[in-house]
Structure 1
Amino acid sequence: MNSADLLADAFERVREEVQAAVDGLSEDELAVRLDSGANSIAWLVWHLTRVQDDHIADAAGTEQLWTSEGWAERFGLPFPPDATGYGHRSKDVAAVRADADLLAGYYDAVHENTLAFVRGLRDADLDRIVDDRWTPAVTLGVRLVSVIADDLEHAGQAAFIRGAIRRR
């Protein structure tokens, strides 16, 4: 197994968790917040997908699917097109409402775009600096592992909320 295969496998695991988190839930269930300061499944899945879309597009030098494929219009959220959820407050979290098909559709599109990108990588590509605003500078490999870790953390939070909703 090479690095590209390993990254593709990790992103496949994210996809499985995202799909399991939203599958069969209503829009109202996806918007449930366990308390007034908590995130909803809809917000978590939207956010992790936005971050993945943003970071992969930046690394690949392409436009985000959010804007290039009309996902921003389909979601119709009250945020600027470049919003990914960083810095969102409680009212912003509450504004993210979407059905399971829309959330899964956007994630699947970003996932396929991600796989196309990572499957074309060579091991040496992972050392390329993609963000020099940090010390040390962030390499492509570090950025991709960061996206995977963040995605899995948020997918796990969504799974927890799903479990709480289903036990009610």
Structure 2
Amino acid sequence: MSAMVPIVVMGVAGCGKSTIGELLARRLGLEYAEADVFHPPANVAKMAGGRPLDDEDRLPWLAAIGDHLRYRAGTGVVVSCSALKRSYRDRLRAAAPRAWFVHLVLDEATAARRVSSRPGHFMPASLVASQFAALEPLDGEAGVVVDATETPERIGASVLAALPPTGEGAVVPA
């Protein structure tokens, strides 16, 4: 589908952004981009040291993801990105105005449990609370809100059923 909207799979650490992003990209025949690879080394070191990123830390990361979305906007792409705040999503939409968000929601205890069970990832479970503190859910933005405790197959089906072909549309609760 050449007019596919750029899709951003968002949410706190441990919600399944990578799993769902890869699944959607595979089902839609699109490129998948993992947001973690866009982090500058200083951001990775800060998080690995147990310190949460602030807005200033995230600016170059969001700019790189926005550039990737803009570059792939004509052919479609699925990107995972926490996109925790509306202002972050506004930056991504400034680069790719048709960006469509998949907000994977779950409770803090489940997110912390999932993060602590990820082998070899730089983000410690101690930072999950800071992500929930920063999180601003979708509010009238183009996208869908999905329960991240469902199976990947069910999440994928919900997202695909809600995905607008033109990039238009408001938040769709799954």
Assess same fold via TM > 0.5: no
Structure with max Cα Rg = 1
Q: TM-score, normalised by structure 1?
A: 0.30
Greater strand percent: which structure?
Answer: 2
Q: TM-score, normalised by structure 2?
A: 0.29
Q: Which has the higher contact order (CA 8 A, sep 6+)?
A: 1
